[in-house]
Amino acid sequence: MELATVIFYLIAAVTVGSAAMVAFSRNIIHSAFSLLGTFAGVAAIYVFLGADFVAAVQVLIYVGGILVLILFAVMLTHRITDVRITNRAVGRIPALAVIGVFLFLLVQTIRETPWQKAKEILYSPTTAKIGDLFLGNYLLPFELASLVLLAALIGAVVISRKELKE
Amino acid sequence: MDLRNFESLKFFYPEAILTGTILLLVLLDLVLRRKEILGYIAGAGCLLSLYAAVELFGARGGWLFQHMIILDNFSLFFKVLFLLAALLVICMSLDCHELRRVHKGEYYTVLLTSTLGMFFMASSSNLLMAYLSLELVSLTSYILTGSLPHNRRSTEAALKYLIYGGVSSGTMIYGMSWVFGMTGSLDYARIGAALLQGEVNHLSLFMAFVFILAGFGYKIVFAPFHMWSPDVYQGAPTPITAFLSVASNAAGLAIMIRFFFPALSRLGENGSWLFLQGVEWPHFLLFLSMVTMTVGNLCALNQQNVKRMLAYSGIAHAGYLLMGLVVLNNDGLRAVLFYVVVYLIMNLGAFLVVMIVANATGREDLDGYHGLAWRGAAIPAVCMAIFLFSLTGLPPFAGFVGKFFLFAAVIRQGGMFVLLAVVAILNSVISLYYYARVVKTMFFDFPQPGAQEVEMTPSHAALLGFLSCLTIFLGVYWGPLAFYAEWSLRFFVR
Amino acid sequence: MAIGLTHYLVIGAILFSLGLYSVLTRRNAISILMGVELILNGANINYVAFSHYSSGNVEGQIYAIFVIMLAAAEAAIGLAIILAFFQIFHTIDVEAAETLKE
Amino acid sequence: MDHPIQTDYLRWIVLLPLVGAAVNGLLGAVLQKRIGKWIISLFACAPVLISFLLSLQAFLDLLALKPDERFLIDRLYPWLSVGSLRVDMAFWVDPLSAVMILVVTGVGGLIHIYSTGYMREDKSYWRYFAFLNLFTCAMLLLVTADNLLLMFVGWEGVGLCSYALIGFWYHDHVNARAGNKAFIVNRVGDFGFVLGVFLVFWSLDRSGHGTLVFREIEKFSALLQGQEIWGVGVVTLVTLFLFVGATGKSAQIPLHVWLPDAMQGPTPVSALIHAATMVTAGVYMVCRLHFLFSAAPATLAVIAAIGVATALFSATIALTQTDIKRVLAYSTVSQLGYMFLAAGVAAYGAAVFHLMTHAFFKACLFLGSGSVIHAMGGEQDMRKMGGLRRSLPYTFWTFAVAVLAIAGTPLTAGFFSKDEILWQAFSSPHGSPLLWVLGVAGAGLTAFYMFRQFFLVFFGECRADHHVKAHLHESPKAMTLPLVLLAIGSIAAGWIGLPEIFGGSRFAEWLEPVFGAHHEVHASGSLEEILMALSVAVAAAGFYLAYLIYYRGRLAPERFSSLAGGLFYRLSYNKYYIDEIYQFFFVNGTLLLARIGAWIDQYIIDFIVDGSAKTTAFISWIHGLFDNHVVDWLVNKIADSTFDAGDKFRKVQTGNINSYLYVILGAVVLAIIVKLRYWS
Amino acid sequence: MTDNVLTYMTFFPLAGMIVVLMLPSDRHNLIRWVSALFTVPPLALGVWLYGHFNTAIPGLQFVEKIPWIPAYNINYFVGIDGISISMVLLTALLSFLCIFASWGIDKGVKGYFALFLLLDTGMMGVFVALDFFLFYVFWELMLLPMYFLIGVWGGPRREYAAIKFFLYTLFGSVLMLLAILALYFTSEPHTFDMTVLIAQSGKYGTEPLAIWPFNQWGWGFQHVVWMALFIGFAIKIPAFPFHTWLPDAHVEAPTAISVILAGVLLKMGTYGILRVNFPMLPQATADLAYYFLGVLGTWNIIYGALCAMAQKDLKKLVAYSSVSHMGYVMLGMATFTPQGISGAVLQMFNHGTITAMLFLLVGVIYDRAHHRDIEGFGGLAAVMPVYTGVTALAFFASMGLPGLSGFISEVLVLLGAWQKYPILSILGASGVVLTAGYFLWTIQRVYLGPTNEKYKTLPEINGRELFTLIPLGIIVIALGVYPNAMLDLLRASLDQLNQIVIPHLP
């Protein structure tokens, strides 16, 4: 077995394992920190797939942004001193059953589907290419994304701001 | 016509104007003291954009921005529709007691952003654009829903909406990723071409569609993706509920038609669409349509809250709208387009009355409507009756013509679709029951002693009058609108 | 067995399923949001993998970048809403949300 | 025959009374108050008298014609013309209807005059005469109509007036109820009548001659021969249907029950409607359509049987009745039975002859009894009368004449007509000795109960209380004059129809163009004489028995009434319980059906409809339940009980995000599975 | 003016509605008189129509046809023939009279009269429309005002009655809509024009449909469409078992509305069958008429009469009598004989006038005694003789007494029925006995007998009430004496109608 394969399985195990922790952990802090593992693992997978820029974005935004936000939210809404911070989950067995069937179906379908095959498999840096596309073909989405972020910004302000005095 | 980025700008006026207005609002919010003016500015922006959109009528259709969006009659139709909805909702918001404590600047900004997002939903020709625009609309919708500060219902609704939206869009992009994987492209046209010639695994295609449908369905509000809507509609401020129930619904339809019809099917003879082999799209939608209208109507039966009832009725109407998609032909689509316009008018009208009553009494439950007609609010009561009967589908109101087209499309197709028509009929009858219950409460029950008088502002009266006259007018003379709907079916792509 | 497209897709599917599982079982709004993030990551793996194996161009990667961006925006709004919710209800258990029902 | 003479005065015979009725009906209340009762009397009596004169004119006109051409017609306008159905508003007079209009207007006129005296005190004088005139109009319409449908108009019209006049004193529920009974029983008969009309029309229409005009039916009646429906000859069925109508109107078994109750009306009404005219409409109708009946021997047999049965049956009831008018009522039923007996043996002339003579003597009897009641201050129970011959001389003598007539005393009208019937019953091809025997027995009973009444009322000691006794007085002129005239008629009317042995019947001769040649079996004259003598003897025996019991008091009535433990007496006294049986089976049965129908309507049908509504509501409830309970229940119950046992079982509610998501995911999975299972 | 008679007749009341809406709402008398004024022109034009109607032409007259929505081949197309003229006259007359019968309304006067005038337009429109789309619009248009008129101005259970009426009728009419669409798409070119659809009647196939369970019954397109239309119309008639809305609606509705309901609205059902089912789907008509018109009609006659007999409420009794009498119309239509079908149409008119009288009369007594319990009266004849007289006239007309109009139509129906279905005719005729039974019983209980002390002082019927009754009374008598006045109008058209169906009879 090649080293790459071993590393792949390792990363896959980390990703899936920490994702499972997120899903199953009874402690929300544990969940939140496990999410870190998932995000990192996914970033590593991106590297495996030759998507260096995406991997970087993944680390920057997910790990640096979203995860911190989530942790803040957890802190703000829970007393840290509480030994066992509840992360209540209910109805696991039926959920497991449904999800199990679902996953089975997904995997079966994935295996049977003849996916499109690329002519060549590239392992070149993608940053420049992506940058070009952002200012070329994908200019509109790129600009639109800025609007989305603006809206999100305003939205976060609107929702968390105190109300107007009459 | 396939335009590059800068060339595209001259066909981009409606969006550009709207974007400009949004930015202007953000700036003016900082400067202006009298925030009421912002509403008028937003309205003016919409009007300007509307003008620009109408100016574009007759322009040769084509791809803009490197195949990102499409300019065609279909997208123009929906743009006009969204602008009308936004305009009306802005008019409603100007005098809404619920929104007194809301920061107007942000409110209108977000509202217009949402409208802009819908523009892109109707015109996107790329999976990425579709996702982006859908998310834009979703995010702004969460904000609008939760815009009432320190309001239990509003915040709760926003939270539910958020979770729902997150899951739905996640599911949708998962589905989209499969489509991407199967075709190697994000562009509708190329996806369509690839699917038509390539070896397609029916099962994975179907699964991808089902996932994508979760995203669209949650916007259109059809079963089983409908369950958020009653809670959200009830919790959101009334103008926003009106906006969501009409514009967001229409945007969902637009994106769905845009995605499934021109992209994933090809035009057959006599204006019918042939769908890809192996995806039992009609059967599936037929079933969904039946379930949706039935569930919506049955749940609406016993609602005590009028807003919630209208939410369920919205679900039922989503079911009726699906009838038009089921038959997979231009007849059906024309009916859908027609009905969307009509639905906009009557549903907005109904919510306007709900708002007027809530303004005066602070109540949204049915008991607040006791003897409305006899409490100085004869005009809102009569208008409400008109809107509700129109929603039922009674002539001479516009809702009848809309339903008529839908039925016509279905009946014409014959066969198993007749079953759908019969189910729809039974549903109409059921729906009459709960609509008539509101009418009954307004007219047949006499006000309890001490009930508040209901008054309304002249602007509301004018708006009501306009909407109800339009409802009747379109019920009697609907040729032009039908023509407009027909005209809007000229897709550029394929 | 060489590592191929299917492996990545399966990881994506597992993340997707685990995300759905969280969403289904969690009562805590933040946990549900985390579940949504898992779903998005699952989808993203698909995009990048397809970009690599199927299309041979970077469209999929761009899609993934947008997804990450939007996830951030959604997380921002989502957490703002959750905090507002917490202020009113003093919990983020979604079962506490019982104002809206028929 | 095909071109009867068109006249323009026949319509007035019918319409004049209508004018009277309209004036009195619409303006009567005002006129009576402003001007007085005399103006009402004028508007009431004058039209009828003028009608009588016009009828005489018609009679004379007929007389002036050759026997075969004796038709007058007055066509007004086409009344109903739809498809092949063409019915004119047309009146005609032929020898048969000439007799009828003379009787109706003549006897009717007398009764009008009588009524002006009898009803003088009544507050609703105008209403009485309005209906009486309306009745006259309807009756005249009935007898002069030239087609079946128009006849039916009169047929129902007389029923309506009968109803209104029976219940004239509507303040008493008994009267109102009697009116209802009469109307409804008549309706049952009419039901048969219209079916007969339909059948005859369509049977003729089949050969392209659909018509309801009498002359044309007669002309084409041969076409009906051989046609069958439901395995029965059309002619038989038509005649049976029509005869059902006749039994209703003419109070034959089994529809005879209304007539005795009809005596609740004012006595002149009983005389006019329930003795002289309306009740004979059935007989008239049978005679009018004799050509059909003659062609249906089976029907004839039925008619004869029912006629004789009715005659005998009601005579037995009359034996024990104590109400003066009730006796007469049953006697009327009985006499009508004789008429049907005659018709049933195809002796239509005899039937009409008896009809005419009966009109005289029965009207006389009724009016006489009215006079008695008037004198007794409204008392009708014969047991409280007696010895009235001194105080009411006119009444007594006229009554006596009429009693003699009805009992069949030789040389009175009743004798001739009844004898004719009995002879025909014996000798006609359709007759039989049995019919004769039964008829004679009935005649004996008739003599008995009539004399019983006669003796009870006019002889012996007065059993009334002294108040009544003090007020006993003869009736005014307006009442006695008609009595006298009718009494004369009761004798003289018979003389125009003498039996063969006394020189032959002018009457039969007159009717010959209608009924065809008198196909009488010319048995030896001596047989007729013997039979006649026998019947007289039987009548005399009846008289003698009554004389013994009620005049001489030699025999106690109890000797008869206690026979067989009083069984016969009770049966007869209680009219064989027919009313009770009908009440039980038909009236209560219908009401029961009605209640069942209403119940079904209220509960079953609405239940089904409401039920579907409820089901819808139920489904929506279930859906809510599913939403509220099942999904959450599955989630919560299973989860809480297994893993989170410490967590309290929360109250389930909607608005639960997780359960919503379950639905979505479940649906997606389901869709995929369905897809895999069915469409792969 | 004379070119657009029907348009004027139809839309005058609508103009009246707009005028009434603009009047100040507290000027009650002004509103009443204005409303009355706007019902006069239709009546006057109706009389004019009666005079100028050419009885020799079987086809349409006074036709107006203007394109409405050309893209869908929808026209404003009105006209009358022998089938509709009697209904048009009836509508004009009853609308006019009912304005006066509504004089006593004093709650929401403006709304009442405005809705009433709208109702008038709707009703008139249904009878003159020759375009199916237009027909449907008018058909439904009339529902709304009716719903409000019952629901707002009705009796104690008005809400229940109104919604029941509404739901039933809507159910039927939506089913009808499907049938209309099916016909539209079968025609070539697609059209809603009834005359064209009739001309194309041969196109509608009868080969068994592939839809379960119709293929089991061997039902074809025609039959299925026929059934859909029939149910829509049967609910209006109302035919058993769709009739239960009627007693409720009648009992709760205000007097004038009951009159309209029974007088005009019920006729729409039978009119629709004659106008649509007969000529457009002749084969299905020939196949199904016996069961769904003949047998069901007879059942209606008997069942309605039995139900009427058991009622304690005077108005309900009259309502059930309508069920019974409309049965004659159905039976008559099923016969395809000139007599039967003429009788049916005549019965429609006669029932309209007679039952209008009955409801007006019930209204009179209800206004005075404030209840309608049959057992609660007694001896009214002594207190209110004129009223009793008019009631008797109406009752006798209703029970088919010869000389009055009801007799003519019933006898024609039964006569016509005898030729085809003697048994039904016999059963139907037995309904006559039952009818007499319950009416006489009612007369006895309400008007005869000792006077009820409570009602010794009831005022006699007044001039306004008599004004509404007398024209009807005159018509009832006049048509009994000279029925050709109406039959002449119908003859040609109905004969033609029969000729369409008869060739298809088995």
pLDDT per residue as tens digits for the range B375-410: 878 888 999 999 999 999 888 899 999 998 898 888
Which of B301, B304, B308, B437 to mutate: most D Cβ within 10 Å? B301
Q: Which residue of D has its CA nearest to A92?
A: D639
Non-local CB neighbours of B20 within 8 Å, separated by 6+ positions: B45
Query: What is the residue range of B338's domain?
Result: 290-494
Residue pairs spanning A and B at CB distance below 8 A: 112
Which residue among B143, B171, B176 places its CB closest to the CB of C77?
Answer: B143
- The DSSP element (H or E) to which C7 belongs, if any, is helix C5-25
For chain D, the residues whose C-beta falls within 8 A of a C-beta of chain A are 634-636, 638-640, 642-644, 647, 658, 662, 665-666, 668-669, 672-673, 676
Higher-pLDDT residue of D386 and D300 is D300
Question: E42-61, pLDDT tens digit by residue?
Answer: 999 999 999 999 888 888 88
Question: C19-35, pLDDT tens digit by residue?
Answer: 999 888 888 888 888 99
| Partner C contacted by D661 (CB < 8 A) | yes
Chain D residues touching A101 at Cβ < 8 A: 669
DSSP state of D505: B
Put simply, the answer to whether D653 touches C98 (Cβ < 8 Å) is yes
Instruction: Label the pairing between strands B265-267 and D5-6.
Output: unpaired
Answer yes or no: is D190 within a domain.
Answer: yes
In contact, B69 and A140? CB cutoff 8 Å: yes
Which residue among D620, D654, D667 places its CB closest to the CB of B301?
Answer: D620
Distances in whole angstroms, Cα of residue D602 to Cα of each of B160, D560, E176, E245, E246: 47, 55, 27, 11, 12
Neighbours of A57 (CB within 10 A): 20
Residue D142, pLDDT > 50, answer yes
What crossing angle do the helices spanning E132-141 and E143-153 adopt, rounded to 10°? Answer: 10
- Over pLDDT 90: what percentage of chain B? 35
Average pLDDT over residues A75-103: 72
In contact, A109 and A37? CB cutoff 8 Å: no
Query: What is the residue range of D274's domain?
Result: 5-573
Average pLDDT over residues D55-67: 85
Q: Do residues D461 and D318 share a domain? A: yes
DSSP state of E130: -
Q: Give the minimum alpha-carbon distance from B481 to chain E in angstroms, rounded to a whole number.
A: 11
Residue D517, pLDDT > 70, answer no
Put simply, the answer to whether B203 touches D676 (Cβ < 8 Å) is yes
Residue D112, pLDDT > 80, answer yes
Map residue D580 onto helix, strand or coil.
helix
Distances in whole angstroms, Cα of residue D264 to Cα of each of D161, D268, D383, D411: 14, 11, 19, 33
Residue B361, pLDDT > 70, answer yes
Q: Do residues D510 and D635 share a domain? A: no
The reported pLDDT for the residue numbered C100 is 59
| Partner B contacted by A100 (CB < 8 A) | no
Residue D632, pLDDT > 80, answer no
Put simply, the answer to whether E147 touches B395 (Cβ < 8 Å) is no
Answer yes or no: is B95 within a domain.
Answer: no
Q: Which residue of A has its CA nearest to D675?
A: A105
Which residue among B68, B101, B106 places its CB closest to the CB of A166?
Answer: B101
Q: Which residue of B has its CA nearest to A161?
A: B149
Answer yes or no: is D671 within a domain.
Answer: no
| Partner B contacted by A144 (CB < 8 A) | yes
Q: Do residues D275 and D169 share a domain? A: yes
Q: Do residues D550 and D612 share a domain? A: no
In contact, C13 and A103? CB cutoff 8 Å: yes
Q: How confident is the model at residue B222 (pLDDT cuts 50, 70, 90)?
A: confident
Distances in whole angstroms, Cα of residue B406 to Cα of each of B52, B333, D169, E70, E137: 31, 9, 67, 19, 16
Q: How confident is the model at residue D651 (pLDDT cuts 50, 70, 90)?
A: very low
Q: How many domains does chain B have?
A: 1
Lowest-pLDDT choice from B243-247, D515-519, E233-237: D515-519
Chain A residues touching C94 at Cβ < 8 A: none
Q: Which chains touch C (3 or more CB pairs under 8 A)?
A: A, B, D
Answer yes or no: is D589 within a domain.
Answer: no
Put simply, the answer to whether C48 touches A73 (Cβ < 8 Å) is no
Answer yes or no: is D410 within a domain.
Answer: yes
Which residue among B139, B149, B186 places its CB closest to the CB of C77?
Answer: B139
- The DSSP element (H or E) to which D421 belongs, if any, is helix D413-427
CA D98 to chain centre: 22
Q: Give the minimum alpha-carbon distance from C48 to chain D in angstroms, rounded to a whole number.
A: 25
Answer yes or no: is B488 within a domain.
Answer: yes
Answer yes or no: is B485 within a domain.
Answer: yes
Lowest-pLDDT choice from C42-56, C67-81, D433-447, D636-650: D636-650
Q: What does the alpha-carbon distance between residue D432 and residue D421 come to, in Å, rounded to a whole number?
A: 12
Answer yes or no: is B192 within a domain.
Answer: no
Chain A residues touching C28 at Cβ < 8 A: 28, 86-88
Q: Do residues D244 and D373 share a domain? A: yes
Distances in whole angstroms, Cα of residue D183 to Cα of each of D196, D280, D281, E312: 19, 16, 15, 22
Residue ranges with strand state E in C1-102: none
Question: D21-40, pLDDT tens digit by residue?
Answer: 888 888 888 888 888 888 88
Question: E140-181, pLDDT tens digit by residue?
Answer: 888 889 999 998 888 888 888 888 888 888 888 888 888 888
Answer yes or no: is B163 within a domain.
Answer: no
Q: How many domains does chain D have?
A: 2
Chain C residues touching A53 at Cβ < 8 A: 61, 65
> Pick from D554, D573, D592: which residue ends a domain?
D573
Which residue among A113, A137, A159 places its CB closest to the CB of B204?
Answer: A113
Residue pairs spanning C and D at CB distance below 8 A: 30
The reported pLDDT for the residue numbered E115 is 93
Chain D residues touching A94 at Cβ < 8 A: 634-635, 638, 662
Q: Are there at least 3 beta-carbon pairs closer than 8 Å between A and D? A: yes
In contact, D468 and D379? CB cutoff 8 Å: yes
Question: E295-304, pLDDT tens digit by residue?
Answer: 999 998 988 8
Q: Do residues D238 and D344 share a domain? A: yes
What does the mean pLDDT of chain E come to?
88
Average pLDDT over residues E318-342: 90
Q: What does the alpha-carbon distance between residue B137 and residue B135 come to, in Å, rounded to a whole number?
A: 5
Q: Do residues D557 and D647 share a domain? A: no
Q: Which residue of D has its CA nearest to A88?
A: D644
Q: How confident is the model at residue C9 (pLDDT cuts 50, 70, 90)?
A: very high
Instruction: Label the pairing between strands D72-82 and D85-93.
Output: antiparallel
Instruction: Label the pairing between strands B265-267 and B69-71.
Output: unpaired
Which residue among B225, B280, B301 places its CB closest to the CB of D664?
Answer: B225
